Structure formats: C-alpha cells, structure tokens
C-alpha cells in the first residue's frame, strides 16, 4: 500500500511525463535512493510505472487519486440528473490528522457549511467512542462535511442515523449490494463493518449548531490492516466482487456528498422522522434478538423493535419496551 510520501511523489508523476530521480528527490525533500524505494513500493501496490535510464520515471496509467475537480464535475452531472444544484465546496488533501478534527478547528474561524474535506491519508483518524479509525492511504475513502443547523443538539439526536441512510443509498446507487446498517450507524455487509460515521457538534444547546459529519469507508483494506481492527471488517472491493471494475473513489465521493446534502436538507426541516421507516428497513438487526453492552459494563438483551423518532434504539423484552440512546451502546448479535 502507498504511504503519504508515495502519494506526494505520484502526484508529481501524474502528468504522464518523465521525471528524473534527482528532480523528484528535490521536490519532496528525499534522497534519490529513498525515492527509488518509495516508487518500488508504489509498483508493488499495483501502479504501472515506467523507468528509462537517463530519462527517469513515468506513470503509464493514471492512478485513482482523489481529485476535487473530478468530484465537482460528477456533482455537476448528478445535479443535472436530479434537477437540484449542490452548493458544496470540495477540498482534497494528501494528509491531515483527521478530516473531522480539521473542519472542527476551522469552525472557530469561519463558516464550514457545505465544505467537504477528503484526505488520502489520516494520521489520527477518529472513530466513535474515542476509538481510532484505521484507514489505508489510497485504500480508503475518508472525508468530512460541515453543515450548519438552526436547531440545537436535541433536534440532532437522530442525525447520525439519517446519515447512515444517505451512505447506504449512495452505495446502492453505485451498484454495491447487501449494504445494511447496524445501530447506531455502522455501515455493514453481511455483518462485517465496511464503514463508519462520526458526528461532531459545535454550538449552543438551543442552536444554532455546526455539525461535522465524518464518513470513513474501507475501499481496499489489506489483510494486515484488518488484524488491527477490533471488529470483523470487509471492504467495498470485496463487496463489489472479483469481476467488478475498479472502484472510482471520486465518483463514489460525489455520490455520497450529493446524497448527504439531500438528506441534510430534509433533516433540517423535518428531523429524523421521515427517515425512521427506511432506517429500520435497512437495519440488519431489525426484529432480531440482540445483546447490548452498556457503557457501565452491564448487558441487556431483547428483540429490536426499531428506532424511535429521535433515533433511540427500542428493545422489546416481552411486553416491555426500553429505549437506548445513540452513542452509549455496542450492539452484538445475540
């Protein structure tokens, strides 16, 4: 897999022209020997590189870099198809600690409404409940979108579930099958995690609130990386199947942003209620017996009755019903 340094080098080579080892080394501040090693790793990761003595290196096939212009162009196509413009700013960086942390820092200085930030590589990706989020340079899609709501945090309780609906809709529209949700907002395929959603909030209790919606999807996750992750995981390449064409992350990102913008606009007016039935339909555990692990270590069992209008999970134990709030609970198959 590619390292962030590999990305910087490959971006210099993305013009399809020859670049000498000296030239590349000077551009990224490495020795020539290191440049040669990084490019060998890039080749091992599947990139087609041509080397000619005296001329240098050239990429023979354009790699699938994230590219803000390509994402905007695809958003334009989607907007024309749907008859609605998407007023979204798209920014792509090679490396950042976390796209969500970066947008949250910016919230202090400027409006991030409609700003999408995607990164090839996150050095400190954050997952839910203080966990880290493992992503692979070039093998993941990691991005965050800023969105401003007039309402306060109470109104936004079901937002992360609605975002789950948007992500599954977008993946389905791009041809991925059997993608489902696991409460509160894991994106799964046959009980294995393929993506996650993290929402950060900034604002007053009664509003307005700026949210930063972080989405991480596994696109090509090597076996070694899977071992570091505490839950069963899969990637979209596996979901798509062996005969499927390579995944176009720019197209995928545009589809996700378009669907997110549409869901966020509806949510701002109507909250979670219009998404509750679809969410339940897409929940892999709907009607199933489950065990919830509570933050204090206690466990609760019951049958999933569904989610209520605020996105709380409702468990049925005989005639009794109990509600559990998003973010507090880990859900396992009973």
Least Å from the CB of residue 145 to ligand BTN: 10
**Taking CB positions, which residue lies at the least distance from ligand BTN?**
196
Q: Decide if residue 211 touches ligand BTN (CB under 6 A).
A: no
Least Å from the CB of residue 169 to ligand BTN: 18
SS3 annotation, the chain: CCCHHHHHHHHHHCCCCCECHHHHHHHHCCCHHHHHHHHHHHHHCCCCEEEECCCEEEECCCCCCCCHHHHHHHHHHHHHHHCCCCCCEEEEEEEECCHHHHHHHHHCCCCCCCEEEEEEEECCCECHHHCECCCCCCCEEEEEEEEEECCCHHHHCCHHHHHHHHHHHHHHHCCCCCEEEECCCEEEECCEEEEEEEEEEEECCCCCEEEEEEEEEECCCCHHHHHCCCCCECCHHHHHCCCCCCCCHHHHHHHHHHHHHHHHHHHHHHCCHHHHHHHHHHECCCCCEEEEECCCCCEEEEEEEEECCCCCEEEEECCEEEEECCCCCEEEEC
Task: Mark the segment that binds ligand BTN (CB under 6 A) among 39-47, 126-134, 202-210, 301-309.
Answer: 126-134
Least Å from the CB of residue 118 to ligand BTN: 8
Which structure tokens are listed for 318? 């005989």
Task: Mark the segment that binds ligand BTN (CB under 6 A) among 14-22, 86-94, 128-136, 160-168.
Answer: 128-136
Least Å from the CB of residue 24 to ligand BTN: 29
Q: Decide if residue 19 touches ligand BTN (CB under 6 A).
A: no
Q: Decide if residue 226 touches ligand BTN (CB under 6 A).
A: no
Q: Decide if residue 249 touches ligand BTN (CB under 6 A).
A: no
Residue from 10, 47, 99, 304 that binds ligand BTN (CB under 6 A)? 99
Least Å from the CB of residue 34 to ligand BTN: 28
Least Å from the CB of residue 252 to ligand BTN: 14
Residue from 6, 56, 63, 125 that binds ligand BTN (CB under 6 A)? 125
Residue from 144, 160, 210, 234 that binds ligand BTN (CB under 6 A)? 144
Least Å from the CB of residue 155 to ligand BTN: 22
What is the contact surface with ligand BTN in residues (CB under 6 A)? 98-100, 122, 125-128, 131, 133, 142-144, 186, 196-198, 214-216
């Amino acid at each position: 897999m590619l390292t962030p340094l590999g990305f910087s080098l490959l971006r210099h080579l993305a013009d399809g022209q020859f670049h000498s080892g000296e030239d590349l080394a000077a551009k990224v501040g490495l020795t020539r020997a290191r440049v040669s090693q990084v490019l060998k790793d890039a080749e091992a990761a599947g990139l087609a590189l041509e080397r000619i003595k005296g001329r240098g290196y050239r990429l023979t096939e354009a790699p699938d870099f994230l590219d803000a212009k390509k994402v905007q162009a695809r958003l334009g196509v989607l907007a024309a198809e749907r008859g609605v413009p998407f007023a979204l700013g798209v920014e792509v960086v090679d490396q950042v600690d976390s796209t969500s942390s970066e947008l949250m820092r910016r919230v202090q200085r400027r409006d991030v409404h409609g700003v999408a930030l995607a990164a090839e590589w996150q050095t400190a990706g954050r997952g839910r409940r203080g966990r880290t989020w493992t992503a692979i340079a070039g093998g993941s899609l990691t991005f965050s979108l800023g969105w401003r709501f007039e309402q306060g945090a109470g109104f936004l309780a079901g937002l992360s579930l609605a975002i789950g609906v948007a992500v599954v809709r977008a993946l389905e529209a791009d041809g991925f099958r059997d993608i489902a949700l696991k409460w509160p907002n894991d994106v799964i395929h046959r009980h294995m995690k393929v993506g996650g959603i993290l929402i950060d909030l900034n604002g007053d209790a009664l509003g307005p609130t700026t949210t930063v919606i972080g989405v991480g999807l596994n696109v090509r996750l090597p076996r070694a990386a899977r071992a570091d992750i505490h839950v069963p995981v899969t990637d979209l390449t596996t979901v798509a199947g062996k005969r499927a064409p390579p995944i176009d992350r720019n197209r995928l990102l545009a589809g996700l942003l378009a669907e997110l913008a549409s869901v966020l606009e509806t949510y701002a007016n109507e909250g979670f209620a219009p998404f509750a039935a679809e969410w339940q339909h897409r929940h892999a555990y709907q009607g199933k017996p489950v065990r919830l692990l509570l933050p204090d270590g206690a466990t609760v069992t019951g049958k999933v009755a569904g989610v209520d209008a605020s996105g709380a999970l409702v468990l049925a134990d005989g005639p009794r019903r109990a509600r559990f709030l998003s973010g507090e609970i880990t859900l396992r198959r009973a």
